[in-house]
Structure 1
Amino acid sequence: MSNANRELVKLWFEQVWNKGDESVIDRLMSPTATVHGLGAADDKPVSGPEGFKTFFRAFRTAFPDIRIRILRTICDGDMVACHCAVTATHTGGGLGVAPSKAPIEIYGVSIARIENGQIQEGWNCYDFLSLYQQIGLLPKLAEKPGEAPPLA
């Protein structure tokens, strides 16, 4: 089962994120799925394919050239964990801010629990702080101890 689960998650990243095929969400995500850690200010999980699509559309609008590379995968029973590298360019307004045209590169981990050939639950831990700094929403941290970050 681990190989089938690994392939399902690989297909998710390739088809949904890298190719932008929204129809695959309905096929690979359970109607009762819960997804945690998508960077929302209220940190509430999203429910089901429709809830996920709201996040997906906003993120793909902000970063239409997004590319997610799976660096390594670990499978354990019905669980699949992927360490990922994300690259994109902030050319759209999907995050509610003007496009910065800045390239971004962040890393993170996605964990999926697979049930009956679909994602039933997902946990995401990505470096959204770095993403917000790279697109200019937040100041970058000081490079040296005692050095203040530049002001806008």
Structure 2
Amino acid sequence: MDPVAESTSGQQRTALRKLVEVFYERVWNACDDDALFAILAPDVRFRGSTEAVDRVGPEAFKMYRDAIHEKLHNYTCTIQDVVVDETVAFARVWFSGTHSGGPLLGVPPTQRPVRWIGAARFALAKEGSQIGDIWVLGDLHSLSQQLQDEAAAEEQPEEKSAPGA
């Protein structure tokens, strides 16, 4: 392979890895809107786990992010692995927070912590300096089970001791 092309390819992979890290650490965890608008292309397509809808544009993504933070207090994304190819990256991520806001997956707030794993695919926009496409697949079965178990636990009447016990 051409050493110049190999160097450019390596730089592009490093830049894409950095975009993925900024996406989770600053855009999601710190709710940094400046970072959001800096790293997402104007026509970015985002498909999150909790909706079967593509959102287009940074503003539409911001609405989704803010809605998740509203439902999950202290929502945090923790990157486990990132694998980068030329213009595409994949990340394995732990998502966590306390379900204290509005309903999530149809379950009213449980006031309890939840944690689930997911994977995301990132593709660079055509100009190559911003993210142009994000597709996330989370373990919604695990999340739903945690929410349902917690909701069911809240509905259980308190056990009363038997007389004389």
- TM-score category, normalised to shorter length: 0.7 to 0.9
Under a length normalisation based on structure 1, what TM-score does the superposition of the two structures give?
0.81
Task: Give the secondary-structure state (helix, strand or coil) at the position aligned to 1:93.
Answer: coil
| Residue in structure 2 matched with residue 118 of structure 1 by the alignment | 130
CA contact (8 A) 1:70 1:84 kept: yes
Task: Give the secondary-structure state (helix, strand or coil) at the position aligned to 1:64.
Answer: strand
CA contact (8 A) 2:107 2:148 kept: no
Under a length normalisation based on structure 2, what TM-score does the superposition of the two structures give?
0.75
CA deviations on 1:93-124 (whole Å, 9 max, x unpaired) are: 26475321111110010110013311101111
Q: Percent identity?
A: 26
Selected match of 1:85 from 91, 94, 100: 94
Residue 138 (structure 1) shift: 9.5
Change (3 A) 1:20 1:64: farther
One-letter identity of the residue aligned with 2:57: G
Task: Give the secondary-structure state (helix, strand or coil) at the position aligned to 1:89.
Answer: strand
Task: Give the secondary-structure state (helix, strand or coil) at the position aligned to 1:136.
Answer: helix
| Residue in structure 2 matched with residue 74 of structure 1 by the alignment | 83
Q: What runs of 5+ residues in structure 1 fail to find an aligned partner? A: 141-150
Selected match of 1:51 from 60, 73, 83: 60
Find out whether 1:100 has 2:110 as its counterpart.
yes
Find out whether 1:15 has 2:21 as its counterpart.
no
Task: Give the secondary-structure state (helix, strand or coil) at the position aligned to 1:65.
Answer: strand
Pairwise CA RMSD of aligned residues? Answer: 2.4
One-letter identity of the residue aligned with 2:16: N
Q: Counterparts of 1:76 and 1:23 in 2: how far apart (Å)?
A: 26
- How does 1:138-149 map onto structure 2 within 5 Å? none
Residue 39 (structure 1) shift: 2.0
Q: Counterparts of 1:107 and 1:5 in 2: how far apart (Å)?
A: 21
Q: Counterparts of 2:35 and 2:103 in 1: how far apart (Å)?
A: 21
One-letter identity of the residue aligned with 1:34: R
CA contact (8 A) 1:102 1:134 kept: no
Residue 85 (structure 1) shift: 1.0
Residue 89 (structure 1) shift: 0.9
CA deviations on 1:38-68 (whole Å, 9 max, x unpaired) are: 321xx22111112111211110101130121
| Residue in structure 2 matched with residue 27 of structure 1 by the alignment | 38
One-letter identity of the residue aligned with 1:13: Y
Q: What runs of 5+ residues in structure 2 fail to find an aligned partner? A: 1-11, 157-165
Q: Counterparts of 1:114 and 1:73 in 2: how far apart (Å)?
A: 15
CA contact (8 A) 1:100 1:136 kept: no
One-letter identity of the residue aligned with 1:72: D
Task: Give the secondary-structure state (helix, strand or coil) at the position aligned to 1:2.
Answer: helix
| Residue in structure 1 matched with residue 50 of structure 2 by the alignment | 39
| Residue in structure 2 matched with residue 2 of structure 1 by the alignment | 13
